[in-house]
Amino acid sequence: MDPYFIIRRERMTTTTVTFSVTGDQQIHCDGCEQRISQALERLKGVTSVEASAHSQRIVVETNPAQSGLDQLRERLDLLGYDVTSEEPA
């Protein structure tokens, strides 16, 4: 096998992070949910986002080596949301 054509495969490890919206800016509607989802899904390593106006929670599945907690919080802060992360059970 030609060593120049060996493809290195890395196992993608994902973590689920749950945020609670705590500030004055709340998730009010479907548009807010979509805006959050689209903004976070643009980050490298984010595989899924579920934002809920009902529960005021944002659940993100991400590869922490590509987009960690700090990057997710930064993006949510840019959108105007103050959040706290919930520890996994």
- pLDDT tens digits, 14-59: 899 999 999 899 999 999 999 999 999 999 999 999 999 999 999 9
Say which residues have a Cβ less than 8 Å from residue 46's Cβ, sequence separation at least 6: 40, 60, 61, 62, 63, 67, 72
| CATH number of the domain where residue 72 is located | 3.30.70.100
In a domain, 8, yes or no: no
Structure tokens at 19: 């945020």
Total of domains in the chain:
1
Q: Which structural domain range is residue 46 located in?
A: 23-86
Q: What is the pLDDT of residues 69-81, one digit of tens each?
A: 999 999 999 999 9
Residue 79 lies in a domain: yes
Residue 12 lies in a domain: no
In a domain, 16, yes or no: no
Between the alpha carbon of residue 16 and those of residues 3, 20, 29, the distances in Å are 36, 13, 23
